[in-house]
Amino acid sequence: MRELILKMSISIDGFVGGPDGEIKWVFDSDQEATNWIVETVWNASLHIMGSRTFHDMAAYWPTSTEVIAPPMNQIPKAVFSRQGPAFLGAVNTTVALTDARANSRTGQAAELQPGAESWAQAYVASGDLAEEVVKLKAKEGKPIIAHGGASFARSLIAQGLIDQYDLLVHPVALGKGLPVFCDLPMPRPFKLTSSKAFPAGSVAQIYRPG
């Protein structure tokens, strides 16, 4: 059975994005923190996310040459969408538009990276959230990593579906924004299993339900 890990960047005051989803601050990481992110993302047999996050990532990662692109492209994906398999039609269009935009900027077609086709081959989970997660967990292999967005993560947390929280806490306070721990029916304890600080001030905090 696979465990479900929620991997998210979070501000010191508990937000995963600004009021309108702004995440520029997420990319202010040093090389050591980036290495931790890459290692964490590679340690998965499946990446899952909500439909909005999936749509945004499918428009970016297939042609990206960043160090995190290989695991994001090459590891299978599942997207949670009530639209069912028809949702993937928009993904195919998105990848094509990404290529066209790159072509208009540089005069050359963007090169699709190895594994880019996996976005269009993703499993679409359109049933009950808990039932779909239980079904995905039942398979053998490395952990499942959930990437968000905020509302999707909030639902996973509220229903107690997360086995481990891999949180990269950034040295920034947003004051207001998108929380993910706001729908808990009651206080929930966690056990800190590891903590690692990086030169630029971010801290990787690994928690498991207490």
Considering the domain architecture, whether residues 150 and 204 belong to the same structural domain is answered as: yes
The tokens for 50 are 């909500």
Per the model's pLDDT, the better-predicted residue between 99 and 200 turns out to be 200
Do 167 and 204 touch, CB atoms closer than 8 A?
yes
Mean pLDDT of the chain: 91
How many domains does the structure of the chain reveal? 2
According to the model, what pLDDT value does residue 44 have? 98
Range of the domain at 20: 1-45+139-210
Question: Residue 25 class from Cβ within 10 Å (0-12 exposed, 13-18 middle, 19+ buried)?
Answer: middle
- Cβ within 8 Å of residue 104, ≥6 positions away: none
Residue-level pLDDT at 101: 58
Residue 108 in this model has a pLDDT that exceeds 70 = no
On whether the CB atoms of residues 146 and 54 are closer than 8 A, the answer is no
Same domain, 68 and 92: yes
Kindly state the DSSP code that residue 108 receives in the 8-state scheme: S
What's phi and psi for 64, nearest 5 deg?
-75, 145
> What single letter denotes the amino acid at residue 149?
G
Least confident stretch, 4-8, 38-42, 76-80, 84-88: 84-88
How do residues 6-24 score in pLDDT, each as one tens digit? 999 999 999 999 999 899 9
List all residues 6 or more positions away from 25 whose beta carbon is below 8 Å from its beta carbon: 11, 170, 172, 174
Q: Which of 20-29, 98-107, 162-171 has the highest mean pLDDT?
A: 162-171
What average pLDDT does range 165-186 have in this prediction?
A: 96
21 and 36 belong to one structural domain: yes
Q: Which of residues 185 and 163 earns the better pLDDT score?
A: 163
The model's pLDDT over 26-54, given as tens digits with 9 standing for 90+, comes to 988 899 999 999 999 999 999 999 999 99
Q: Is residue 157 part of a domain?
A: yes
Q: How far is CA 201 from the centre of its chain?
A: 22
pLDDT of residue 114: 93
- Residue 134 CB partners (closer than 8 Å, separation 6+): none
Domain shared by 192 and 179, yes or no: yes
Judged against a pLDDT cut of 60, whether residue 59 lies above it is answered with yes
**What residue type is 109 in one-letter code?**
A
For residue 48, what are the β-bridge partners? 78, 146
Is residue 125 a part of any domain in this protein?
no
At residue 98, the pLDDT reads 61
Residue 184 within any structural domain of the chain: yes
pTM listed for this prediction:
0.91
Q: What is the pLDDT of residue 205?
A: 98
Decide if 127 is inside a domain.
no
Token pair in block for residue 166: 């891999």
